[in-house]
Amino acid sequence: MSEGLLLEVENLHAYIGSPRGVVKAVDGVSFTLGRGEALGIVGESGSGKSVMARAVMGLMPPRSGRTGTLRFDGRDLLGLGRKQLEQIWGTQIAMVFQDPGRSLSPVVRVERQLTEGMRRHLGVSKSEASSRALRLLNEVGVPDPERRLRAYPHELSGGMRQRVMIAVALACEPELLIADEPTTALDVTIQRQVLDLLRRIQRERRMSLMLISHDLHVVAGQTDRVAVMYAGRMAETGASRTVFDHPRHRYSNALLAATPSIEHVRHASLNVIPGALPSPTDPPEGCRFAARCTAATVECTTTQPPMAPIGIDHEVACFHPVHEKEGELVGR
C-alpha cells in the first residue's frame, strides 16, 4: 500500500486573526501520510480539521500564519511563495470541497473547467485536453459525458456536480487529493455513490487521499488510517478499524458512543459529552478535552498529554486511555 511517505506534518500551528483575538485553529499537530494511503481526518466543528487541510494546501485566509514543518515529497511547503504554490496546486495536491456549487465557476462550462488546468500545467493541446476531459467524466461516472461537457454547473444535480468537482481535481493527476466533507451536502444514497467513487479512484490511481469528515462512520470504512482531532490538536491516530472498534482516547470513545448507529438500542439514552469546546483564542493548559472528560485528573489540567503508542499503528494523546474492554461498553 504505502511506498514511503508523501506528506510529513510536524508540530503544525495554523493561527487566524479574528476580532476576538488569535484563533489557534491548529495548535501543534503532527502526522504522516504514505504514498497511495487513504487517511481519514475526523472531528466536530472547531476541531481544526478544515483549517489543517487548508494549511497543507497553503490556502490560508488573510491575517493568518503557519509554523512547523510541512514536507511534501521531501519538499518544504511552508517556504514556498505564491508562484511555486500555484505549480503544486492541481498537479501535486488537489482539493475537493463540501459545496461543489461554490467551488465550480457558475459561468464556465464543465469542459473548460476541466481543461483549463491541463492546458496550463500539463501543456497539452486543446484537442488532447478535450479528449482527456471526456475520459475524466467517464472515470467519475458522469452519464452522457459528451453532453455534460457542454453543461454549466447549475444544470447538474448536486451529486453530478460533486463528480465533476472530483474530475476537475483529478485533471492534472495530483499525488494527493484532499476531500473536505465531500459528501456532507449530499443525500445518503448519493453520498454512498461519491464515497465509492473516491475509493475506487484512489486505488486505481494509487493516489494518496485525505478524507475529512465530522463522521467517524463515514471515514472509517473508506480509509486505511484515521486521525481524530479535538480543539486544534490530534487526539488519536491509528488503523481505521482499530480506532473505530477500540477507540482509546476518551474523546473518540465518547464521540462514537454519542452517535446513534442503526444498531443502537431503541429509546435508550445516548451517551452525552457534557460541556462545550474550550475557547479557541485562549485554550486551557493541559489536555483540551479535560474539562469534559469523565476520567480527567489534576495532571490532565496542567500537562499536555503527548502522542504515545498504545498498540500496533495506534497512538493516543491521553494520560488515562480507555481500557480495551471498557471500550466495548459503549451503547452500540
Partner 1 sequence: MSSLAGSGSAHLRGDAAILSVEDLEVEYHTAAGAFKAVAGVSFDLLPGETLGIVGESGCGKSTTGRAVLRLDPIAGGTVRYRDDSIDTASPRRLRELRRDMQMIFQDPVSSLNPRRSVKDVVTEGLAIDGRSKKERDERAPAVLEQVGLPSERFAGMLPRQLSGGQAQRVAIGRALALQPGLLICDEPVSALDVSVQAQILNLLEDLKKKYELTIVFIAHDLGVVRSFSDNVLVMYLGKTCEFGDAVEVYDRPAHPYTRGLLDSVPRPDAEGGFEGPALTGDLPSPLNPPSGCRFRARCPIAQDRCATEEPVMREIRPGQYAACHFPLD
* Angstrom distance (rounded) from CA 222 to CA 195: 7
* Angstrom distance (rounded) from CA 252 to CA 237: 10
Strand-pair partners of 210: 39, 178
Give the footprint of partner 1 on residues 199-218 (CB under 8 A). 199, 214-218
Q: Is 189 in the site for partner 1 (CB under 8 A)?
A: yes
* Of 14-22, 119-127, 182-190, 294-302: span binding partner 1 (CB under 8 A): 182-190
Give the footprint of partner 1 on residues 156-175 (CB under 8 A). 157, 159-160
Task: Figure out which of the listed residues 92, 240, 252, 253 binds partner 1, where binding follows CB under 8 A.
Answer: 240
- Measured from the CB atom, the residue of 30 and 271 that comes closer to partner 1 is 271
Task: Figure out which of the listed residues 13, 35, 112, 241 binds partner 1, where binding follows CB under 8 A.
Answer: 241
| Cross-sheet strand order for the sheet of 64-72 | 21-34, 5-18, 64-72, 75-76
Q: Is 269 in the site for partner 1 (CB under 8 A)?
A: yes
* Angstrom distance (rounded) from CA 15 to CA 46: 13
Place of cell 496546486: 89
Minimum distance between the CB of residue 58 and partner 1, rounded to whole angstroms? 28
- The contact pattern for partner 1, residues 56-85, with x = CB under 8 A and - = no contact, is ------------------------------
Q: Is 98 in the site for partner 1 (CB under 8 A)?
A: no
Q: Which helix (H) or strand (E) holds 292?
A: none
Total residues in contact with partner 1, by rule CB under 8 A: 45
Q: Are 9 and 32 within 8 A, CB to CB?
A: yes
Minimum distance between the CB of residue 111 and partner 1, rounded to whole angstroms? 21
Minimum distance between the CB of residue 80 and partner 1, rounded to whole angstroms? 34
Phi, psi dihedral angles at 7 (to 5 degrees):
-130, 130
Instruction: Please state the length of the chain.
Output: 332
Instruction: Say which amino acid occupies 116.
Output: E
Place of cell 472531528: 43
Instruction: Say which amino acid occupies 187.
Output: D
Task: Figure out which of the listed residues 192, 309, 313, 329 binds partner 1, where binding follows CB under 8 A.
Answer: 192
Give the footprint of partner 1 on residues 25-44 (CB under 8 A). 44
* Angstrom distance (rounded) from CA 140 to CA 160: 9
Q: Is 144 in the site for partner 1 (CB under 8 A)?
A: no
Task: Figure out which of the listed residues 254, 287, 310, 316 binds partner 1, where binding follows CB under 8 A.
Answer: 254
Alpha-helical regions (H) of 140-239: 145-149, 158-170, 188-204, 216-220
Q: Which residues bind partner 1 (CB under 8 A)?
A: 44-45, 157, 159-160, 187-193, 195-196, 199, 214-218, 220-222, 240-241, 244-245, 254-255, 258-262, 264-273, 276
